[in-house]
């Protein structure tokens, strides 16, 4: 009886070794196309814009529709087995895009500059090929985000206290 020897496969530019039968990481062309369509499909001089900021111009539901379309990319990343911290980073990018984008006038300008789908595609691809090794960068992002939010909160509390004392 002849048994085949199971030879592990090493993926280029990755420190990970995959066993026979394991799914190898691969780029998702459909996700790349969706991110490009939402954030960079229309060339306007030296800039590129996508459908996301144009959809965001619709009052009321535009930013919500853009966020739902962006969540499709996150759903595909979850299916691919991307680490949870990277998924959280991707969802935070969409939340920033949606919340700031919903501010009248300023949010519309912000939508044209902030390309959350392209950022999320980069996070997906980096996580796909580096595995769990790149999670420190995502934790650093959240640490900086929470420090910034704490500073804003402290500033608001200080301002309210100063306002109450002045009255």
Within a domain: 123: yes
pLDDT digits (tens, 9 = 90+) for 100-150: 988 888 888 888 888 899 999 998 888 877 765 556 666 777 778 778 888
What's the mean per-residue pLDDT of the chain? Answer: 79
Structure token pair of residue 25: 């990481």
Residue 1 lies in a domain: no
Q: Does residue 17 fall inside a structural domain?
A: no
Owning domain of residue 70: 27-166
Is 97 inside a domain boundary?
yes
Domain count, the chain: 1
Other C-beta atoms within 10 Å of 121: how many?
23
pTM of the model: 0.69
Asked if residue 12 is part of any domain, the answer here is: no
Question: Is 21 part of any domain?
Answer: no
């Amino acid at each position: 009886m002849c048994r085949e020897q199971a030879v592990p496969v090493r993926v280029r530019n990755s420190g990970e070794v995959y066993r026979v039968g394991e799914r190898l990481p691969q780029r998702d062309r459909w996700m790349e196309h969706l991110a490009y369509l939402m954030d960079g499909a229309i060339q306007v001089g030296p800039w590129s814009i996508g459908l996301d900021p144009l959809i965001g111009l619709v009052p009321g539901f535009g930013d919500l529709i853009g966020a739902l379309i962006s969540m499709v990319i996150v759903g595909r990343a979850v299916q691919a087995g991307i680490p949870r911290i990277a998924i959280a980073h991707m969802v935070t990018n969409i939340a920033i895009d949606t919340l700031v984008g919903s501010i009248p006038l300023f949010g519309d300008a912000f939508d044209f500059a902030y390309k959350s789908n392209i950022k999320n595609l980069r996070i997906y691809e980096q996580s796909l090929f580096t595995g769990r090794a790149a999670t420190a960068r995502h934790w650093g992002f959240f640490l900086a985000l929470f420090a910034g939010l704490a500073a804003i909160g402290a500033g608001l509390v200080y301002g309210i206290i100063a306002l109450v004392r002045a009255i």
